[in-house]
Structure 1
Amino acid sequence: MKLLTWNIQWGRGADGRVDLGRVVAHAKRFADIDVFCLQEVASGYPELPGNNERNQFDELAQRLPGFHAIVGIASDVPGHPVRRAFGNMMLSRYPMLQIFRHLLPWPAEPGVFSMQRVAVEATLDTPAGYVRVTTTHLEYYSVEQRFAQIERLRELHREAASHARSDPPRNLSDAPFFNPPRGGPAILTGDLNCLPDADERKRLLAPIDAATPRYHDAWERVHGSAPRTPTVGVYDKMQWPGDPFVFDYILVSEDLCGCVKDVVVDSETDASDHQPMLLVLA
């Protein structure tokens, strides 16, 4: 299984040009991906630099035929003349058994520039069994909000792991009470908007309870304490004039750690202000 995560900045590259075709073409060149997790996908936002009113969720799905697509809208504004939507997206070659769109906490902070955030979760029926994948994008401007969002992600993982252990099998005849299997082994990925030594990241990796397999950083499972490859500010020096750094992560639950074969950051593309990151499971 090959999973690619990428904050695509609505397809805007370091050259200022919005080009979703470039994003998809590079992702395909980089790896024969099975799962594609994207952050910062937009629809109806001509105000974003280089963008227009295009529905990028639809366009990305059309550019990846054969993939099942999930849209996770965080900011949803019924504007005039167009509806504005902004959030995350997941595309998978594997069948999706159960899908959730979790709006994350957004505690009020007067004077702090912030927005609603979302986590998109799907249980995938992979050759290795059921795997639960969640992709998210945490708040950039507020440590308080990131902590609240991380606590919710921890609770969602605990709840899902409990469902995976204990949910009884049900039939389609149970109508809305029919629950497809929920994956126990889990991947959490995306732009966490915090550095590797940040307290927020440490909290996300902390034990939850005796019954819930904790999250581990997939990069560290493969590379140990070796320096991380930067994921932000490699090419876009207008937004990020300093040294490149790391905001993007792939976490795996403890019961999936033995399957982690490789984690690679692609440093070659300038199709976004972030670099894509690949997880390979064996």
Structure 2
Amino acid sequence: MRFVSYNIQYGKGRDGAVDLARIAREVAGADVIALQEVDRHWPHTGMVDQVALLTEHLPAYFWSYGPGVDIHIGKSRPEEARRRQFGNLVLSRYPILRSRHHLLPKMGSVDALSIQRSIVEATIDCGDTRVRIYSVHLCHLSSASRLPQVDRLIDIHRSAVHEGAAMCGNLSGIPYETGVHDQSVPHLAILMGDFNCQPDSPEYDRIAGPGSDYGGRITPEDGFVDAWVAAGNDRDEGHTSDVRGVPAILDYCFVSPAIRQRVRSCRIDTAATGSDHLPLWTEIDF
């Protein structure tokens, strides 16, 4: 299966043009797509619903959207039923059995721009395997703002099985379709997105485990492995964006340790021009 993560910067490409058709072309062929910075009804993108447009361009996919930012549009009327939103989108050729939307810890600010970040969690039925997919976007401001978000992300992952499915238990007498009540939550998970941190950061260590004095990382079974490394790539390579003009590694695919040996490849699409980030493609045997 082919997975791709892409911070699309609301479709604004290197040429300055907002072009969602270009974004759709650049992720075409993926089985599961995790997008970040997808907006709805903002002036800088022509007040369009980007979720509606992207899903029109990608009609063969199931999808789930979760906004971190959800605010009133000035002078809008109730009958317009529109909100100004900014968040993450998961698209899948396979059914999304259920999804959850999680808001991450946020620091208030009277100076630097602080944006509410969030995660979309989607449980995908891949046939023989079910897996939880997370489209993640962490804060851009500082390590101090991201570390609480990473802690929350890990807590969400580790609590998922214990919390159970969105509806579970005995639904006797409730008119829901057969099978809703006995859908267990899979242990396997894949995190994809813009983590806004480099591989030498404490945030990265918190996710992938601290480095060992003898090589490798100390990663628990309920932790995560960087798919880029699992595929045999050098972790000092693979720039996906830049920070103030300096190339940076900000986008990742992290997989449950039980999946690490199924990772066949992980690559950056350096030819993509649809955003200020580059798509990260990962191929995993399922």
**TM-score when scaled to structure 1?**
0.87
Residue 180 of structure 1: how far off its partner (Å): 2.9
Contact 2:107 2:114 in 1 (8 A): no
Amino acid at match of 1:219: W
Alpha carbons of structure 1 residues 147 and 226: separation in structure 2 relative to 1, 3 Å:
closer
Alpha carbons of structure 1 residues 129 and 9: separation in structure 2 relative to 1, 3 Å:
same
**Worse-superposed segment, 18-27 or 104-113:** 104-113
CA distance in 2, matches of 1:224, 1:271: 25
Which digits, 9 at most, give the CA deviation of each residue in 1:35-70, with x for residues without a partner? 111000011111x3xx21000011111111121011
Residue 242 of structure 1: how far off its partner (Å): 2.8
**RMSD (CA atoms):** 2.6
Identity %: 33
Tell me which residue corresponds to 2:261: 258
Tell me which residue corresponds to 2:237: 228
Alpha carbons of structure 1 residues 172 and 141: separation in structure 2 relative to 1, 3 Å:
farther
The reply on whether 1:20 has 2:20 as its aligned counterpart is: yes
CA distance in 1, matches of 2:137, 2:235: 25
The reply on whether 1:271 has 2:274 as its aligned counterpart is: yes
CA distance in 1, matches of 2:164, 2:128: 16
Tell me which residue corresponds to 1:157: 157
Contact 2:168 2:183 in 1 (8 A): no
Contact 2:66 2:88 in 1 (8 A): yes
Please, which runs of 5 or more residues in structure 1 have no aligned partner? 234-239
CA distance in 1, matches of 2:129, 2:169: 16
Contact 1:76 1:85 in 2 (8 A): yes
CA distance in 2, matches of 1:211, 1:200: 16
Q: How many residues align?
A: 268
Residue 175 of structure 1: how far off its partner (Å): 6.5
CA distance in 1, matches of 2:104, 2:126: 27
Tell me which residue corresponds to 2:106: 106
CA distance in 2, matches of 1:211, 1:129: 22
The reply on whether 1:33 has 2:30 as its aligned counterpart is: yes
CA distance in 1, matches of 2:52, 2:206: 35
CA distance in 2, matches of 1:76, 1:226: 36
Please, which runs of 5 or more residues in structure 2 have no aligned partner? 77-81, 211-218
Amino acid at match of 1:41: V
CA distance in 2, matches of 1:221, 1:164: 29
Tell me which residue corresponds to 2:135: 135
Tell me which residue corresponds to 2:41: 44
Alpha carbons of structure 1 residues 268 and 173: separation in structure 2 relative to 1, 3 Å:
farther
Amino acid at match of 1:118: S
SS state of the match for residue 157, structure 1? helix
SS state of the match for residue 133, structure 2? strand
CA distance in 1, matches of 2:69, 2:107: 15
SS state of the match for residue 65, structure 1? coil
Alpha carbons of structure 1 residues 40 and 108: separation in structure 2 relative to 1, 3 Å:
same
